[in-house]
Every structure is written in structure tokens, then in C-alpha cells.
Structure 1
Amino acid sequence: MTASPHPTLAEDLLLLGLDPDRSRRLVQARHLSWGVAGAALAELALRGAVEERGGRVVVVNPLPVGQPLLDAALAELSVGKKGGDRPKAWVRGHAEWLENLALDGLVGRGVVDVEERRVLGVFPSTRLHVQDPAAHAAVLAAFHSGSRPGAGRRAAVLAALASAVELPRRLGVPWRTRRELAGLARTQWPALAVHRLVAADNASAAG
């Protein structure tokens, strides 16, 4: 995939979810991948390409938007179930390859470098090195601006998605603000789908 000069929300969320010091994800890998898929839906919704109707994702404008990751997601939605997929099911089913596209975009712009290695010479491990501290600082600033009243729509969506995958706590956000962000995530259908997946996974892990 040719890297776009302008990052998508999916790429921004993935970058936000990386620890630049330890070269790893700040939250569980599957949770972050769900967030990335939700971010693709959210950006398509912001662009007027999709919307939620009756609890399903409906394509309202199938024309390509000019971003490889978003166009791939839109193409999948366009050939999906008749009447549209449920957001939670779509996010879960498309998370892995969308995260791979988002990572390709970050690598293509020189923001992230991928190191494949084996722990103890046996177990495969991937380290994600943030190569562009300025890009990481910019997305972190966008997240913080999105958590404040009067934030722009894109920044607010980024903050809601970050909350859905439980990033605010790992980013040192105070409890009161985390609670407000959790409420924000429940008002946006892509973030709500991600939140429900994460909550169900956490409940399952807790037994």
C-alpha cells in the first residue's frame, strides 16, 4: 500500500497506542486493533460515506475518498451483508487487516519501524519503534485537545476511540476526565462498538 501523506484516524489511534520508550502497545493488542477498525468506521462517517441505521452500518456514498485504508474499508462495507453489518461484528471481523494497513501507513511515512525478533530464540515477538517523536507528540496533543470541551470533531472522535480501548489511564489522564471520555465514547456509534467489544473481553477474562 502506498503511504498517504495525511494520516487517517486509524493510524493516529495506532500511533497513540504505542509506547515510544518501550516500543510496544500500551494496551492489549486485540483491543487496539478493534479501536483501529472502529477508527476507520468513524472517519468514513465523518466523511459522509457511512452511517448507522437501525443498529447497522450503511454505505451512503460508495465513492472512494482517496485514502487507501479508508477506500479498502469502504469497499468491504459495500459488499457486506444486505442491509449492513452490525458495527461490533464488523469491527471484530476486520480489525486485523485494517491494523496491518494502518501500520503500513505509519511505516511508509517513516513514523514507525517494525522489528521482528524471537524471544529466547523461539517465541516470535514484534517491536514497534516510534521513529518520529514529533508525529507522536502531535497525535498526543490532538487526543488531549479532544478531551476538552469545544474540541473539534476529529479530535473528539480520536479521544472517544482512545477511551473505548482504555488508553486514557495508560496516558496518565485524571480519573474525572477518564469518566467524561467514557461518556463521550458511548455517544459515538463506532466508539461504542469498540467499547462493547473491550468490555465483553475484559468480563470474559475476569471469569
Structure 2
Amino acid sequence: MVTGQFSPLTLPWYRFMVSVTIGMTEFPCQFPCPWHNKTFDFYSSVKTTFTWRFNADGQTLFWRDSRDISQYIRKCHQITERFLILRDGDSHNFRCYPIYYNPEIPLEFVIGGGNFFHSINQTGEFTDLCEFCKEPRYKRILSATGPPSNSTLSLDCTRPSGCSPPGKVCNTSDTIPKACPTTATPTITADPKTKKSHCGKKKHTRQ
């Protein structure tokens, strides 16, 4: 009998533990609420020619270079920790962006980019981001309100938890805050004295 060695294939619990080493995942995902219906310019040391225009549906954006008349759709495929995975339309092409987003400055955030990858027939979430979310090749500030208030291109961390350097590994508790307003439907109790007066009235729904 050989001791001190084992095969992962003979230990189902081992495979399960590996699958949960990455932090919280949202799939399918929605962009943070303040970004919806907003156009963000890219800044390095100066304003660049690139923009992201987030649609009102919260799930798609249009990428554009002002030097090109075309614009390209990208979809929110997955958010894991502070890593945003976008899909290029309905293609097999994906991109991983580490994000630093402070909800107190909702129309300004930092991204790292350059991680483009290809995955055929991907319909579900990615469970291992270490292969795709490498140390970003560039960093940019995105702002929807003109020149950014903070010119520091800091991401704090650039690799998903459970991955190894190069790059600073994030914590499993790191997230991209949604900052979405909470809406509660008010409870209305009808007055028995006036209940009959409301019968038969046409209900109007605001579109």
C-alpha cells in the first residue's frame, strides 16, 4: 500500500472543495445599477478614443472607438468577486476585467484589461478563472462625468482568489458593489367604508 499519495478522481469531496475556492459568482450577471444607460469614456493619462455605453437592460453594453463608425456589443456573462467576464455578442470570445469600483463615486471606476480568451460552446459559468484572468496588460479609468476626480490607476488586486501570482491575489470577499436601490411595494389596506367606491374603476398602469 502506498501512503501519502492519492488520486483526485477517487475523492469526490476533493473535487468539490476545488470548485468552491473562488468567491461568490453571479451568473447570468447584471452591471451595477448606476452604470445603466450611461456612457463612460476611457482615460489613461488623458482621454482616449474608447467608450462603453451601458444599455438600460443592465446586461449589455456597446464598445466603440470614435475613430471607427462601428460599435460592438458585449454582454455581461459572469461576475466573480471583482472580475467582470464579458462576452463579445454571441461569439465564442470572452474578456476578463478586474474592477475597482467605489459606490460612493458611482460614475467612475478602474479596470484592468487585455485578457482576451476563446471558449467554444460556453453556455454556463466559468468555474476556474485562473486560466483566463491573468495579470492585466493595461489599466484605465472609466468616467461618465468628464475627467476623473482621481487619476490613480489602482486596482488593489488583480488575480482571483485561489489563483497564484504574478499579480496580487484578491480575497473571496471582494465584490463589485451593485449599489442598486431597494424598492418595496407599499402595502395598502382598503378602508371598509370606501371599499365599494373603488369597485369597477379601471386600473391604470404606468408604462
Instruction: Name the TM-score class by shorter chain.
Output: under 0.3
Normalization by structure 1: what TM-score? 0.27
Task: Give the structure with the higher percent helix.
Answer: 1
Task: Give the structure with the higher percent strand.
Answer: 2
Structure index of larger Rg = 2
Normalization by structure 2: what TM-score? 0.27
